[in-house]
């Protein structure tokens, strides 16, 4: 598979180079030249495999001959050593061998080490990148802007790996208390993971990272690599779970359409879903659910794209006013808005509505959603209201509710118990350096640590 810049189809790279270079030399986003189409008969065998083995088969289509099949399988089995259940609000699991229990399931993608779906991509990317660097002897300095969950997942995936330093930039006061504690306690005193709190918004963090990449001299000086979803190595693995989950949902309810609701911010998760669909995964529609930071919804509805400054909300990991995968989505649809509209239905919700729905759903069913998942669930209900035909719905559950204990405890008026991993983060002393949202401040800090 070769990749090309979304700005210039003539600018090409192999997977390894696209991964380590993050952005094309013209500043464009790398895109696979073609989305491999997997025939239905082959899809059926993928659905019968474990998720890790299915991921390895899919990855082989995107990674050239860089890894042999055994190496890919070992990599995926090591990365995906955790569960990915589809459950109802009553906690019943989707089981193709059982009679249908419900038409709505949460696809829980938060059972990895940092308790958010970002682990799926980070753990694949981390392992793939470190193999490449071991082989070539290169070093990389990874910059990652985080609205809460990416930084933890990337830090965890690269912690202790030779040849890599990771710098995590998060907006001061813009992440939940638990996320902040997690971000600032990833490594010990001499670890290769460094956390910076930026006095600004997530968009400022993202702009700093983009600014550093846009400067070839800086990129070369520090061997910069991005672990944000501008990196195609983050987006590709996010298609794997959509393939696997859709095959299972379809096996349980073969005659029903499958509709998947994705709580969205930077649109990386949606891009993964769209790639899965184009590979032939049996997905009929996506509900793209946003908080009030919703320029993509405006685009779907009005046809005009107007990125704008983000505003803080309860679902802070989606507080993004300039989603950086927007150009990838246009490119997957050849800029055709009509076709995009047939596949993606957009909707957004404000915080009051989100808090009220989260509380009501918890009281009625006992199933506690994180604020992002709540936005996705409301998207499912709104869509179903408009399209009452038979379908199976999957709401993607993007994070464990305990990561948002500070806001959730106020909403449901109860104290939450912390999973073991988060409890441990609370017993560790924070290590964090505050910086101003300027390129000079970032460069000064990188130089003081690395040079």
Question: What is the contact surface with ligand PLP in residues (CB under 6 A)?
Answer: 116, 118, 148-149, 229, 263-269, 317-318, 372, 398-399
Cα torsion 54, 59, 64, 65: sign: negative
Least distance to ligand PLP, CB of residue 234, Å: 9
The structure tokens listed for 28 are 């464009």
Nearer Cβ to ligand PLP (272/437): 272
CB of 390 to ligand PLP, least distance (A): 28
Query: What's phi and psi for 251, nearest 5 deg?
Result: -65, -35
Task: Judge residue 251's burial from the number of C-beta atoms within 10 Å of its C-beta, 0-12 exposed, 13-18 middle, 19 or more buried.
Answer: middle
- Of the two residues 19 and 397, which places its CB atom closer to ligand PLP in the complex? 397
Q: Count CB atoms within 10 A of the CB of residue 25.
A: 11
The least distance separating ligand PLP from the CB of residue 317, rounded to whole angstroms, comes to: 3
Regarding beta strands 391-397 and 104-108, do their DSSP bridges make them parallel or antiparallel, or are they unpaired?
parallel
Q: Which is nearer to ligand PLP, 105 or 222 (CB)?
A: 105
Give the helix/strand (H/E) hosting 397.
strand 391-397
Here the contacts of 58-61 (C-beta below 8 Å, separation 24 or greater) are: 58/239, 58/240, 58/243, 58/279, 59/124, 59/236, 59/237, 59/240, 61/1, 61/36, 61/279
Query: In angstroms, what is the minimal distance from the CB of 115 to ligand PLP?
Result: 9
Which stretches of 215-368 are DSSP H helices? 216-222, 232-235, 237-252, 268-279, 295-302, 326-332, 337-343, 351-365
Q: At 204, list the tokens.
A: 């400022």
Minimum distance, C-beta of residue 170 to ligand PLP, in the bound complex (Å): 12
CB of 178 vs ligand PLP, minimal distance in Å: 12
Residue 345 φ then ψ, to 5°: -115, 125
Closest distance of CB 433 from ligand PLP, Å: 23
Rounded Cα–Cα distance for residues 326 and 19 (Å): 19
Helix, coil or strand: residue 119? helix
The torsion of the CA quartet 132, 136, 139, 140, rounded to 10 degrees, works out to -40
- The burial class, CB within 10 Å (0-12 / 13-18 / 19+), for 341 is middle
Comparing CB distances to ligand PLP, the nearer of 94 and 318 is 318
Number of neighbouring beta carbons within 10 Å of residue 230: 24
CB closer to ligand PLP out of 193 and 399: 399
Comparison of 285 and 372: residue with beta carbon closer to ligand PLP: 372
As measured in angstroms, the least distance from the Cβ of 329 to ligand PLP is 11
Name the CA dihedral angle for 264, 14, 11, 123, rounded to a multiple of 10 degrees: 20
Q: Which CB atom, from 89 or from 206, has the smaller least distance to ligand PLP?
A: 206
Looking at the Cβ atoms of 187 and 268, the one nearer to ligand PLP is 268
| Of residues 72 and 422, the one with the C-beta less far from ligand PLP | 422
**What phi and psi values does residue 156 have, to the nearest 5 degrees?**
-65, -40
Residue in the structure block whose two tokens are 């320029």: 295
| Least distance from ligand PLP to the Cβ atom of residue 397, Å | 9
Other beta carbons within 10 angstroms of residue 53's beta carbon come to 17
Closest approach of ligand PLP to the CB of residue 105, in Å: 17
Question: Which C-beta is closer to ligand PLP: that of 182 or that of 278?
Answer: 182
Nearer to ligand PLP, 28 or 268 (CB): 268
Q: How far is the CB of 271 from ligand PLP (least distance, A)?
A: 8
Which tokens belong to 312?
Answer: 């803080």
């Amino acid at each position: 598979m070769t990749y090309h810049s979304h700005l210039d189809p003539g600018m090409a790279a192999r997977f390894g180079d696209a991964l380590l270079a993050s952005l094309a030399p013209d500043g464009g986003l790398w895109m696979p030249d073609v989305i491999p189409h997997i025939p239905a008969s082959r899809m059926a065998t993928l659905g019968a495999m474990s998720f890790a083995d299915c991921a390895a088969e899919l990855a082989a289509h995107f990674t050239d001959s860089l890894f042999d099949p055994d190496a890919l399988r070992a990599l995926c089995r090591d990365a995906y050593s955790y569960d990915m259940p589809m459950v109802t609000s009553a906690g019943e699991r989707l089981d193709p061998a059982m009679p249908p229990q419900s038409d709505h399931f949460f696809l829980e993608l938060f059972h990895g080490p940092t308790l958010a779906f970002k682990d799926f991509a980070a753990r694949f990317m981390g392992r793939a990148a470190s193999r490449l660097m071991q082989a070539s002897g290169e070093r990389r300095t990874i910059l990652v802007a985080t609205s809460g969950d990416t930084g933890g997942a990337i830090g965890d995936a690269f912690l202790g790996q030779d040849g890599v330093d990771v710098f995590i930039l998060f907006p001061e006061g813009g992440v939940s208390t638990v996320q902040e504690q997690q971000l600032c306690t990833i490594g010990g005193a001499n670890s290769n993971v460094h956390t910076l709190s930026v006095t600004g918004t997530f968009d400022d963090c993202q702009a700093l990272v983009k600014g550093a990449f846009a400067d070839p001299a800086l990129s070369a000086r520090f061997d910069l690599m991005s672990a944000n979803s501008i990196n195609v190595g983050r987006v590709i693995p996010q298609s794997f779970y959509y393939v696997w989950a859709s095959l299972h949902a379809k096996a349980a309810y073969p005659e029903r359409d499958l509709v998947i609701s994705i709580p969205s911010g930077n649109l990386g998760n949606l891009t993964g879903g769209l790639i899965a669909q184009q590979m032939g995964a049996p997905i009929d529609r996506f509900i793209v659910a946003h908080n009030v930071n919703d320029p993509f919804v405006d685009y779907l509805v009005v046809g005009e794209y107007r990125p704008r400054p983000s505003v803080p909300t309860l679902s802070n990991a989606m507080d993004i006013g300039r989603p950086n995968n927007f150009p990838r989505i246009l490119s997957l649809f050849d800029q055709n808005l009509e076709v995009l509209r047939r596949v993606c239905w957009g909707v957004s919700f404000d915080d009051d509505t989100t808090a009220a729905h989260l509380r009501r759903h918890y009281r009625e069913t006992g199933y506690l959603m994180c604020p992002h998942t709540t936005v996705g669930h409301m998207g499912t209900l709104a869509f179903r209201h408009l399209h009452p035909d038979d379908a199976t719905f999957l709401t993607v559950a993007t994070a464990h509710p305990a990561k948002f204990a500070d806001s959730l405890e106020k909403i449901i008026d109860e104290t939450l118990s912390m999973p073991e991993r988060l409890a441990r983060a609370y017993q560790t002393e924070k290590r964090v350096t505050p910086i101003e949202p300027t390129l000079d401040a970032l460069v000064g800090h990188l130089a003081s640590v690395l040079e």
